[in-house]
Amino acid sequence: MLVGGNLTRTTGSFGFYHESNPDERTLVNSVREFAEIGIKVIEINVGIAMLYPELVTDKTIKGLLEVKEDFDIEYTIHLPFNYLDASALLEKLRVVAVEELKRLINLFESIKPIHYILHLTKSETNFVANNPRYPSWVIENTIKNMAVQASKSVEELIEIIEPKRLCIENLEYKNNPFPFFDIIKKYNTAMCYDVGHAIKAGFDSVEFFKEHKGFIRHIHFHDIKKEGNKLIDHCGLGEGFVDKGKFLNYIKNSKYDEVFLVEVSSIDQIKQSVSFLKDYNFI
């Protein structure tokens, strides 16, 4: 099993949270700081390359390759989940989204990432599916049409990448779930199993894994805590109520040997979570 961490929350799709004047080496520096923790897989959110392409140049790519060689690590790439919508009902928007996703895949292919992680939809799906003001036929038709658009997008993306390297992530689909798994099966892609998303949607972490086991090649693991009536995910392991032992023991005994990433909000939480996994003899 390849155990690592996700840089999503430190670089993000909105920009570098910790740098006031980032340059083309900032992403490299963030990755190097991450690598020094001692983890073997680093997932990079490449939304920064979409919003600020001047910050991701050939120099950046060369720097990422140097870090990979210096620390003997592997990369995975989380494709942008803000602004780009692979399920956009307006065809022009969907086409632009796919074009940009392809550009980013081609840009980062030289660092040889194991997987690319993709959100098929944005928040509109849950908004429509869980809005009591909408009649059932509106909900059903909207989700059906979004699924058609998302399916076309996946078909176009696997023109430039092997299907098993494209990991489609489960989101917090409730009540009238988006048929993301039908699309995974149709194109024989892989699945990124976000455990927190499944729990927030009302599923049991282990049962969800069992149901989709044949397609899961990538796991995002994080804790969830309650703040009032809200559930806050992407917390460090040990900060919340998720039954970590149950899931970790099952995964360990299942002989799962793909990518397992801690997806939290800061480098301190990564360190905390890595210590947690060591205490469980998971790594």
pLDDT tens-digit profile, the chain (283 residues):
899 998 765 555 444 555 667 778 888 888 898 899 888 999 998 888 887 888 888 999 999 999 999 999 999 999 988 788 999 999 999 999 999 999 999 999 999 999 999 999 876 666 776 677 888 888 888 888 999 999 999 999 999 999 999 999 998 876 657 788 999 999 999 999 999 999 998 899 999 999 999 999 999 999 999 998 888 899 999 999 999 999 999 999 998 999 999 998 888 888 899 999 999 889 8
Domain count, the chain: 1
If one counts every other C-beta atom within 10 angstroms of the C-beta of residue 37, the result is 14
Amino acid making up residue 103: R
By the 10 Å C-beta count (0-12 exposed, 13-18 middle, 19+ buried), 196 is classed as: buried
Please give the helix or strand (H or E) that residue 193 lies within, else none.
Answer: strand 190-194
Give the Cα separation of 12 and 1 in Å (integer): 26
Q: What is the CATH number of the domain that holds 140?
A: 3.20.20.150
Tell me the residue range of the domain where 192 lies: 2-279
CB-hemisphere CA count at 13 Å for 103? Answer: 14
**Cβ within 8 Å of residue 135, ≥6 positions away:** none
CB of 218 within 8 A of CB of 1?
A: no
Give the Cα separation of 168 and 273 in Å (integer): 24
Pairing of strands 74-78, 259-262: unpaired
